[in-house]
Structure formats: structure tokens, C-alpha cells
A and B are shown apart, each in its own frame.
Chain A
């Protein structure tokens, strides 16, 4: 314990900026599902999880959510309300689901003949950046994009990077989405403040994430499903029970809707709201940078 205190004080001296943000998290331990691990460890362990699930990621999503994840992502994109000429950043969007949907939406908007108002904007090129820390996930995404014909005009850019320290400039993005990624990061506050940094004035932050159910009977059913059925499916389909056990536990460890919304507000966002889907199984949090 003494060692812990010493390292914390050293940490505070070396990174004074960080010490204020880490007040909400205990100093050097973080959660990996229900286990407690060191912070450095978490990033590596999450990396291992996603390296192993990358190939079956989409199939598993379909199986676990009975295809509902598509509707959730559609809802996320319709809330975003994309427009032609937009610069958008999708973080932890490895296999490209959200990015493809945004491109579809923008092309639909163009076809609807809103060109009159957008003549200046069309000169600005639509750019969707897909950022992921895991190169395997990005490769799967690039393959899918090639198959489906997305991004042939250069509107999709695949970037490998860490959500906690993005390589993009300040005030450069119209929109920022993170779908099912934020519970895997080590420091949520850092991700939120990076999101705040890269967004333009008036830019929108949207987070789609598995969240907490509070309806009485539904909660029990959901827990039963999560802890019994999902790791079993993981074992049978992907041959990896551990990763899916981690997945289910990490959902429980993630802050509930209200707490997460206050964290978003603390990062500087305004008009922070959230919407529960399927009774709280999934929540979409949104905020604006002003």
C-alpha cells in the first residue's frame, strides 16, 4: 500500500494535468471485466481480446443481439443527421459498421435533391475517418469496404490510433461517434476530453454503448442471458469463451447512464442527453461542443 502511495505521488509530480482527471478513477488499478488489473495491462488485454474476436466480430454481434445491433446503429446515425461535406470521426469503429451507414445516409441525402442549399458544401469533400487501436479490426473493415464498394472516392480514411490521444487537429471534426467502444478504454475521461478537443464549434458527440437495465424482471432475464448464454455462444462460434466473459463483465462495470452523462458534461459538452433503447440494454448519449 505504501508503494501505491509513493507511485501515486510520483505520478502526480510527473503528470500534474492527469492527476486532476484521475481523481474519479483509483490511481493505478482499473477494471478488466470483474478483475482488477494494472492500467498498462488493460490496454494490452483489450488488444488481445479484439485481436482474437476480429474475424468473427460481426457474426457474433448478430448472434448476441439477434440482429438488433443493426437497428441501434441506424438509430445512432439518424440522430447524427449527417450532411454532405461533413468531416466525421468514428472511434473504435474497426469493422466500419457505423461509417458505412453514415456514407449511405449522406448519399441518400444527396439524392433527395438538397443540392440547392449545398452547392458550397459539395465543394467541401465528405470525409469519414475510422479510427481504431487494433490493426486487425481495421483490416477486417478495409476488406468489407472493398467488398461493398465504400470509400472508392476517398471519403473513407482508416486510421490506427488511440482514442485517448487522437492524432487529429483541434476543432476539425463536425461529428464524433463511438459505438460499443468506450467501455473498453482505460481512461474514459481522457477519451471524452479528446473528443471535445477535436470537435468543431457546434460539433456533435454521440456514444452508443451497452448500459444498465433497471426494469425489475427484465433485468433478471437480461443478466441470465448475458452470463449464461453469451459466453456459451462465444465458445461455440468463436472458440473463445474468455473474451465474451470479459465483454459481459465490462458492461456491468461501465458507469450507469446518469453517471456517464455527468462525465460527458464534465468534459465540457453541453445539452447532454441520453436515450435508452430496449429498456436500457443500450443507451445513446449525445452532447454538443459549444
Chain B
């Protein structure tokens, strides 16, 4: 309630202060992120608007590079800070641009299968939506914007599935993880022939921060659904391992020719089993080391005692 009142205040102030606009959007994105980092599963949305805004906002916020002081004419884009970005818009017009932007990107996805993750697909999408293709020139990292939009869209569908599917609670963690990764990767199946291009776009240094953040959110989401309550160093280890499983499975899928990607799912199950076995192995190794050191310590004490008593 206080948040919506604050939103209304900021909206009216935004006309005269471009900086407030960006602060407001950051605020929104923070709300979304904090939802992912809590340890409670199935927490109800605190701000019903945040998740719907998150998809266009996270892509536009990240790809907003108002280059404030660019001393060369190269295409490097500086990272954004609140002071560097200048948007001069009224609240209504701001939402219109975001809407058109989202419409453009979702219309372009249809063309990706034929044209790849390229500017051409974006321009074809623009024509479909009734926008002039010159709007593509205003997107800061054109193909990356499209890929990031798609990744956000898939993440959103995964979250919806997690929220609506009650059977996940009854599965063991390893089964739950397998199922969710499979569900997420199946979303990419229609684009699998162009997916290597999407991966290479995500790997470009300019785009790495955003793609890393998106993958981190994805992995976090899956662990939450699998019932993770860790908050120490283990948290990082778990996410790294899951990130590794996800990426290797994704890459395996690129060259998998079996029907319905059967081999990929077999690969996935094997990797998840390995990871959980590894966890058990590490625990066992820890116990062993403790036992050995205790034993050794006793032996050593006796030995030293014997030596000195002589």
C-alpha cells in the first residue's frame, strides 16, 4: 500500500526529473529480485505489478546506455548509473514505449526460426507490429535484446509452472531438479537450430553481465522449487553445480538428434545423479578425514607420551 502511494508520487515528479524515473525502475527491479533470494518457497507476490513489469523493465533497464561522455566514436557503451541516464518522459508515454518495445520483441521471436537472432528478424517483427524498422536502431544491443527478452519470457513460464504445479513438492530434490531443467530446456526446442547463435550472442563480453544474471536467477528459481534452505557457502556451491548441469545439458541438446531429445534427458538424469552422489561422497570423505585425524591424533599422543616418558 505504501509502495503504490510512493509510486504515484514518483510518477508525478517524473515529468520534471528524469533521474527519478530511473530510480523508480531500479526500485521495481529490486523488489523482483528480492523475491528470488528469500528462502521461502511459494511466497505470494508482494507487488502484483512487479513481475509483469520485470520482463520489459529488466531488458530495457539493462540495455539503456545513454552514453553520457563518449570521447570516441566507437560503439562501446558505458555502464549505466542513475546520473548518466536521462529520460524525459511523462508516465503515460513511458509505459507506451515499454509496451511497444515488448510487442516488437515478441513479434520478432516468430521470425527468429527463419532469420536467426539478427537485426533482420527484429525489422521483420517491427513491420508485423506496424512500427517503422528504424526503431531497431534505437535498441542498444539489438540481437542481445531479443535473446534476453526470450530468456526472461522462458523464466517467467518456468516460474508460472512452479507456482501452479503442486506435484513438485512430492518429488525428491534430484527428481524435482531434473524435471524442472527438462521443462525449461524443452521450451527452447523450437529454436534449437538457431540456439548456438543465441549462445554466442550471450557470450559476448558486452552481454555477459546480463546473461549471467539471467542464468543466476534461473538457477536460483530451480533450487527454491527443489526446497533449498541453505544460506551459507553451500548456497554458492549448489548454484554453481546446478549452473554447470544446466549449461552442459543445454550444449548437449544442441547436437542431440534423437527423437524428442531422449538422449539429452538421459544425460541430464545422469548428471543430476552424479551431482547428488558427489555431495554424498564429499560428506563421506569429510567423515573419513575426521575419523582418520582423530585416530591419528590418538596414536600420535600415545607415541609422543611414550617417547617423553622414556
Residues in chain A within 8 A of chain B (CB atoms): 71-72, 74-75, 78-83, 86, 114, 116-118, 120-121, 174-175, 199-204, 258, 261-262, 264-265, 268, 270-280, 286, 288, 290
Contacts and interface: CB of A to CB of B under 8 A. Distances in A.
Contact of B94 (A74, A270, A275): A270
Given A117-B120, A204-B138, A265-B88, A273 B97 contact: no
Nearest to B96: A290
A276 B70 contact: yes
B120 A81 contact: no
Interface string B129-159: 0111111111000000000000000000000
Given A203-B134, A270-B97, 5 more contacts: A118-B123, A199-B132, A276-B68, A278-B71, A290-B100
Given A261-B86, A275-B66, A276-B70, A83 B135 contact: no
B66 to A, nearest CB: 4
A64 B273 CA distance: 70
20 contacts: A74-B73, A114-B119, A116-B120, A117-B115, A120-B127, A201-B131, A202-B130, A202-B132, A258-B86, A265-B88, A270-B93, A273-B66, A274-B86, A275-B68, A276-B69, A277-B73, A280-B69, A288-B97, A290-B93, A290-B100
B97 A83 contact: no
Main SS class of interface, B: helix
Nearest to A88: B134
**Interface of A, helix, strand, loop or mixed by DSSP:** mixed
A79 B66 contact: no
9 cross-chain pairs, A with B, having the tightest CB-CB distances, nearest first: A202-B131, A81-B137, A117-B120, A265-B88, A202-B132, A202-B135, A200-B132, A275-B67, A270-B97
A199 to B, nearest CB: 8
Nearest to A118: B120
B: interface residue count bin: 35 or more
Given A262-B88, A270-B94, A81 B100 contact: no
B87 interface: yes
B75 interface: yes
B177 interface: no
Q: Which of A120, A202, A204, A265 has the most CB of B within 10 A?
A: A202
A20 to B, nearest CB: 17
B126 interface: yes
Contact of B66 (A78, A114, A274, A277): A274
Contacts of A202: 100, 126, 130-135
Nearest to B74: A75
**Max chain B C-beta neighbours (<10 A), residue from A174, A203, A270, A276:** A270
